[in-house]
């Protein structure tokens, strides 16, 4: 038989109070730690710095470097590299990208990304007169 840790009502009450106060102390420490983490997350620098990018300066994806493309919203290093690789493979087709919709061929770029990117992109004038006119 396992002995009970207290010998009577008075000693059981002290044991219970000690355990509860210890639990309350740890709960307070955990709550403070969680608060500090959330506050630090709130006041850190913007994880998406391109969201505040100046929209008056537009970028041509036909000539932008990987580093330049990475300043666009929702474009990370991998997607920027894919854009440059796609453009390099199709060098004969100048320009490779004639509109924002042409970027949909790049893996990782979907309609939502195109909506966000369109304000930051410019494309060469593709309105050329047809031959013979």
- 39-85 pLDDT, tens per residue? 766 655 444 445 455 666 799 999 999 999 999 999 999 999 999 99
Q: Which of the listed CATH numbers 3.30.43.10, 3.40.50.300, 1.10.150.320, 3.90.1150.10 matches domain 55-120?
A: 1.10.150.320
pLDDT (0 to 100) of residue 7: 60
Kindly report the pTM of this predicted structure: 0.55
Do residues 56 and 121 touch, judged by C-beta distance below 8 A?
no
What DSSP string runs through 48-109?
A: -GGGG--TTS-B-TTT--HHHHTTSTT--HHHHHHHHHHHHHTTTSSSS-SSGGGGGGSTT-
Is 61 within 8 Å of 69 (Cβ atoms)?
yes
Angle at the Cα of 66 (from 60 to 48), degrees rounded to 5?
A: 90
Average pLDDT over residues 24-31: 81
């Amino acid at each position: 038989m396992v002995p009970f840790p207290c010998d009577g009502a008075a000693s059981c009450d002290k044991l219970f109070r000690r355990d509860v106060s210890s639990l309350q102390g740890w709960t307070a420490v955990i709550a403070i730690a969680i608060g500090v983490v959330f506050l630090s997350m709130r006041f850190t620098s913007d994880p998406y710095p391109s969201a505040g990018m100046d929209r008056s300066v537009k970028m041509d994806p036909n000539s932008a470097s990987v580093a330049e493309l990475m300043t666009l919203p929702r474009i990370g290093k991998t997607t920027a590299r894919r854009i440059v690789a796609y453009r390099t493979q199709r060098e004969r087709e100048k320009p490779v990208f004639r509109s924002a919709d042409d970027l949909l061929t790049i893996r990782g770029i979907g309609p939502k990304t195109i909506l966000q990117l369109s304000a930051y992109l410019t494309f060469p004038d593709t309105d050329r007169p047809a031959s013979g006119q």
